Amino acid sequence: HVDSEGVCESVARHTDLETCSRPCNNHYSVCQDIIKEDNLRDDLRYYFMSPCEKYRARRHIPWKMGVQILKIIMVTTQLVLFGLNNQLVVSYKEENTMALKHLFLKGYSGVDEDDYSVAVYTKHDVYESLFYHSQLDQLSVGPISYAEDENSKLLPLTICKEYYRRGSVEPSDEIYDIDAQLETGERENLHVSLTENSSFFNLDFYRLVDIKITFQLKGINLQTVRSRELPDCYSFFVTITFDNQCHSGKVKLFLDIDAESSACRDWKISGTAQKNTHYLLVFDAFVILMCLTSAVLCTRSIILAVRLLQVRDDLRLAFPHVISAVSWIHSV
């Protein structure tokens, strides 16, 4: 007769069911239960070990941890490169906006006045400001010009004015007659001039509400060459607004710019920038490969955990008297 303590000592000394059954033939089922319990305990203990503990226990190289560390380093490098590139894009847009304000707004000092960019107070300044935008090619030092269509023709600019339909004002006699209905006049041409459109630009300022000039520009962000990246092409949608809604003798000028980036249609670059672009593509592909490998390893770990859970449930159903194993698993 072998008591339970002897069975446990025997199981602890043996590693498989065959050797366990020899000293305790009368307690075969007890040995089987304890061995299954020990196997499950060992599997769970190994599953929750750290990589260093797994290496010390079974001499398995923690290559999965190496993949995760390498992935973190590579993704961090990508984020740093993205941040530096995005900084160049933001600075390019900000500096371009400042340059265009100097080019298109007469008398701009470099600092916006309140919520508008600049203000004019005389009719002469208004007329001069209307055509101040036409000096881009002569003044700009940057790689920017008026946009062209597919046939290499300049896209037309649009001048739109909004004014009261009818009115007369005699401030000295304190008399006015205003029709508050608004009308809109528009001119769309490649080169708008005052002489060719004298009637359109014969402005009654007491009727004038606002004037909007819209046109499109094209530019290339060449500063990215220094960061070993291909330059992007930009489309700038410019709107210059002459705001006379207050009729206070002060016409406010606003300049709004919407920028859109895109890949240039045709480009050629020599030197190290093109080579480094290929290196970046290879680096990005390697990052994708590392991320896929990491995803496979995580999926494999989850599947292993589910299998261990199934083994535990099967053990509880088949051997409900193995209380120690169940309680130990719950504690884990």
Instruction: Supply the DSSP string of 188-239, one letter for each residue.
Output: EESS--TTTTTTTT---TTTEEEEEEEEEEEEE-GGGGTTTSPPPEEEEEEE
- Tokens for 145? 């010009």
Residue-wise pLDDT tens digits, 207-263: 889 999 999 999 888 887 776 677 888 999 999 999 999 888 899 999 999 988 888
* pTM of the predicted model over 0.75: no
pLDDT at 82: 83
pLDDT at 14: 41
* Res 166 pLDDT > 60: yes
Q: Which of 43, 37, 44 is nearest to 7 (CA)?
A: 37
Range list of β-strands (E), the chain = 118-120, 144-146, 157-170, 175-189, 208-220, 233-243, 251-262
Beta-bridged to residue 259, according to DSSP, are 236
CB atoms within 10 A of CB 97: 15
- Average pLDDT of the chain, as a whole number: 76
Q: Highest-confidence range of 41-50, 149-158, 182-191, 214-223, by mean pLDDT?
A: 214-223
Query: Which is it for the CA torsion 256, 84, 235, 125, positive or negative?
Result: positive
* Res 173 pLDDT > 80: no
Domain boundaries, the chain: 4-61+287-331, 91-267
| Low-confidence winner among 33-42, 83-92, 110-119, 121-130 (lowest mean pLDDT) | 33-42
Residue-wise pLDDT tens digits, 8-18: 444 444 444 44
CA angle 152, 156, 183 (to 5 degrees): 165
Q: Are 169 and 137 in contact (CB under 8 A)?
A: no
pLDDT at 275: 59
Residue 57: CA count within 13 A, CB half-sphere: 13
